[in-house]
Amino acid sequence: MSDVSTGGAPPAYAPVRAPRPPRPGRALAVTALALAIGGVVAAFTPLAIVGAVLLLAPALVLAVVALARRGRGAGTSVAALVLAVVGGAVTAAAVVGYFSTAQPTVYGSPYTIDEPAAPTGASDEDVDPRAALEPLALAVGETASGRVGQSSTWWFVAIVDAADRGAAAGVAAVDVDAISLDGEVLQTFSTYRAFLPGRTAVAGYFSDLAGAEVAEISVSEPLVDPRYDEPVDACGGVEVSEAAVSSEPGLPTTVAGELSVERDGGCLSPGVVVVARDAEGAILEAATGWAARTPADGDAATFEASFLQVLPADAVFETYPLP
């Protein structure tokens, strides 16, 4: 038996390389892809538009960062970027579609109105949307308007008497024109509101008139939708009480109080037009306030009418309830 000698030399080992740390681009790309997939799914899901935006926005950012680092996962980053762009386009289309079909609100009134149905066989071009509405005779009395400070906004008010047509107009369309010194119509204020027979007021604001001057206002004959008519007794009267003026130094004037009704249901939310006059009786401004809630018969609800100007301490206020 023979011995094999190694001569005392240490055994030879193959060198072992330390593992390379993973490149961050791969993790970013995978994260971006996961967010983009979730965002695309949310974009195609009704009522999940906000979730789609919250997922697609970071997915787009992470995909761009991962591509900029030129690490591993470039293909994954590109896929995430494409999905994020596609999801964003779908989300944008959904938002545009929603706002293009939503019913617009009318500044100055809490009411909306349904357009009359088109006759059978008639096209949209053949139908006048106000053809089914009936005129309401309105006697226009005192009118006034004025610029709010040095701004391009003008306030207006018209004291009117509504004719007795045997019913309370639940919804009436009213247009008020701002007329220039040259007789040109500068702007039209349109609103929907209710009318009871008797004296009331129509008030609002014209905005963005730049340097134009309003010489007078013109109130159109309201058009009433008979589908919303109510018996006068059902609408009842609106009473204003506990009205108090609040005016902090340098801040616009506010009139707050309570509205009570003598009805159970009928018509819509009551409101009030508050007209401010100076010591000589000239109208300074008018503001409209609506009940914080719809009160029941004999109940009261608070209201607040805010003016846009600081009114003098000796101003006198008068109220015109709105049914």
Q: What is the pLDDT of residue 107?
A: 36
Spatial contact of 256 and 224, defined as CB atoms under 8 Å apart: no
Q: What is the pLDDT of residue 131?
A: 59
Q: What is the pLDDT of residue 116?
A: 45
Do 274 and 210 sit in the same domain of this protein? yes
Do 144 and 63 sit in the same domain of this protein? no
DSSP string, 61-115: HHHHHHHHTT-S-HHHHHHHHHHHHHHHHHHHHHHHHHHHHSPPP-TT-S---PP
Spatial contact of 271 and 289, defined as CB atoms under 8 Å apart: yes
The number of folded domains in the chain is: 2
Strand order in the sheet with 198-206: 138-147, 154-162, 198-206
Q: Which of 99, 116, 142 is the last residue of a domain?
A: 99
Do 147 and 287 sit in the same domain of this protein? yes
Q: What is the pLDDT of residue 127?
A: 47
Q: What is the pLDDT of residue 51?
A: 74
Q: Tally the C-alpha atoms within 13 A of residue 231's C-alpha that lie toward its C-beta.
A: 5
Distance CA 9, CA 275 (A): 110
Do 170 and 313 sit in the same domain of this protein? yes
Three-state SS at 137: coil
Task: Give, in degrees to the nearest 5, the angle at Cα 144 between 176 and 172.
Answer: 30
Q: What is the pLDDT of residue 23?
A: 53
Spatial contact of 200 and 275, defined as CB atoms under 8 Å apart: no
Residue 274 CB coordination number (10 Å): 29
Q: Which of 99, 121, 154 is the last residue of a domain?
A: 99
Domain extent for 45? 24-99
**Spans of the chain below 50 pLDDT:** 1-14, 16, 18-19, 22, 101-116, 118-119, 122, 127
Which tens digits make up the pLDDT trace of 23-61?
A: 555 677 778 678 778 776 776 775 567 777 787 788 778
Q: Average per-residue pLDDT in the chain?
A: 75
Using only the alpha carbons of the chain, give its radius of gyration.
Answer: 34
Do 277 and 237 sit in the same domain of this protein? yes
Q: What is the pLDDT of residue 230?
A: 75
Domain assignment present for residue 253? The answer is yes
Which tens digits make up the pLDDT trace of 216-248?
A: 999 998 888 888 777 766 666 677 777 788 877
* C-alpha pair distances (Å), 116 with each of 133, 148, 190, 195, 249: 9, 37, 18, 20, 49
Domain assignment present for residue 41? The answer is yes
Q: Which of 51, 75, 99 is the last residue of a domain?
A: 99
